[in-house]
Structure 1
Amino acid sequence: MGRKLWGIDSARKADQDLYNCVKKYYGSPKFWGRYLADVPGVSRGLSKLEISFLHSRNIKVMPICTVFDQAVSYEKGTIAVRNAVFHAKRLEIPEGTAIFANIEHFFTVEGEWIAAWAEMLLESGYRPGFYHDPLKGDFGDAYCKAAGKNSKIAAQSILWSSRPEAGTGKAYEAPDYNPATTLCKGNTWVWQYGREAKQCSINMNLAEDKMLKFLY
C-alpha cells in the first residue's frame, strides 16, 4: 500500500496560532487543505502570504473550491471551473496541481456538472479533484454516470472521500488507510477520516504518497 501522508484541512486560515495548536496537540501535517476564495460567513480564502507561511514549514497546499451549493448542469460546472482557475492563477498555483470541488452530501449533483469540472479543468492544465461522500447523497451515481461516458474522468480525477469517520487524534494514531469508495472505478487517494478536532478548528486526512506531485 505504501506510506500515507497525514494532513489537515480547515476553514480557518493557516496562521501561526493555528499551526502551533495543530503541532502541539496532533502532529506536523504534510499538507493543508484550504479554500481558494472567500466563503461568506465561513472562511477567508487563501492568500499568497498564507501559502508562503505553509511552504516555509514544508507543508503542501491542497486547494479547495467551494463557491457553489449545488452541482447541476454542464454550464454551471464550466462557470465553477472558470472561477477556480481564476483564483488558482491569481495565487500563482502551478498547472498540474489538483483543485478539489467541495461537494457535500446534501448538494444536488448531476453527471453533467461532474463532467464539466473534470473535462474543463484538464483542459486548463489543472488536475480535477472531488471532495465527496461516496455513501450518502447524489455524488456516487453522478460521478459514475460521468465516468461511464468519458473514461478520462475516472483515469484523471482524484477522489477525496469523507467516509467513514474514524474520529480525531494524534497523527501517529491515524487509522489504517481505508476510505469508502464509489461503486465505479476511481482514484480515491485522499481520506478525511476525522472532523472537527477538539483542540483546534481542523479536520484530519490521510493521503496516498502519490498525491504529493498534485499538491502545491
Structure 2
Amino acid sequence: MATYVWGVDSASPVDEKLLRCVTEQFGKPRFWGRYLTTIQGVASGLSKGEISLLHRQGIRILPIYNEFRAATGYENGKKTAQEAAQQARRLGIPRGTFLFANVERFFAVDTLWILGWVNTIRTTGYKSGIYHDPVQGGFSAAFCEAVRRDYRVTSETALWSAEPQRPASGPDAPPIYAPKKPHCSANVWAWQYSRDVQGCPVDTNLMDTRLFGQLF
C-alpha cells in the first residue's frame, strides 16, 4: 500500500528564516522542491549553500527545471532534458535522481516534446519527472498519446500534479491523497495541493514514498 510524505516547494531560496517560517507554521517538511536555475522575476536558482542547509536538516531536494516556455517538438524536448541534466551535474545532484520538467498549464505542449524529454533523460542517467496540470491545458492528451506510442513513458516517468487545490496544511493534517490524473496509465507520485500559501512563500505537497526515495 502506498504511503505519502509531506513537503513544500518554493521559487524563493531556502534560508534559515524561510525554513523556520515553514516549520513553525506547518511542521518540518521531508522534501523541498527547488528550481535548478534563476529566471529573473520568476524563480531563484538552487545554490550549493541551500543544498547544504537542507541536507543538514535531513530534508531531501526535488529538483525542478523551468528554463523553457513551451513544450513542443521532439528536438526541444531533447534539448530541455540535456540542459536539465547539465544543471543537475553542476550542482552535484547524483544520477538516479528524478529531475522534473516544469510544464505550466498555459504552456503549449505536444506528444513529441514528451517523447524527446523522456528518451533523452534516460540517456543522461537521471530519471524523468514532469510537473503538470492534468485539467487545464493540453498536457493530459499529449501525455496519453505519448504513452500509446511508447509505454516506457509511463513506466519511466513520475508525474507531479497541480490539481485539485486544497487548503494549506502541514504533515499532521494533510488531505487524503487524491490528485487529478491523465486518463491513461500514469505514475502520479506527487501532488501540489496548495499554492501561494499565506505567511510563507511556498506551495504544499504530498509525495508517494516511491518517488521520495529517489530524490536528492
TM class by smaller structure: over 0.9
Measured in 1, the distance between the counterparts of 2:215 and 2:122 equals 15
Q: 1:33-182, aligned counterparts within 5 Å?
A: 33-182=33-182
Show the counterpart of 2:22: 22
Tell me the SS of whatever aligns to 1:193.
strand
The alignment-based identity, stated in percent, is 39
CA contact (8 A) 1:72 1:109 kept: yes
* Cα distance, 1:171 vs structure 2: 2.5
Poorly superposed stretches of 4+, deviation over 4 Å = none
Unpaired stretches in structure 1, ≥5 consecutive residues: none
1:17-48 CA deviation, whole Å, 9 max, x = no partner? 10000001011000000000111112221111
TM-score, normalised via structure 2 length: 0.98
Tell me the SS of whatever aligns to 1:214.
coil
Measured in 1, the distance between the counterparts of 2:2 and 2:152 equals 25
RMSD value, Cα: 0.9
Counterpart of 2:134, as a letter, is P
Unpaired stretches in structure 2, ≥5 consecutive residues: none
Measured in 2, the distance between the counterparts of 1:2 and 1:27 equals 22
TM-score, normalised via structure 1 length: 0.98
Measured in 1, the distance between the counterparts of 2:107 and 2:39 equals 16
Tell me the SS of whatever aligns to 2:213.
helix
Counterpart of 1:146, as a letter, is A
Q: 1:181-196, aligned counterparts within 5 Å?
A: 181-196=181-196
Measured in 2, the distance between the counterparts of 1:37 and 1:121 equals 18
* Cα distance, 1:2 vs structure 2: 3.5
Tell me the SS of whatever aligns to 1:137.
coil
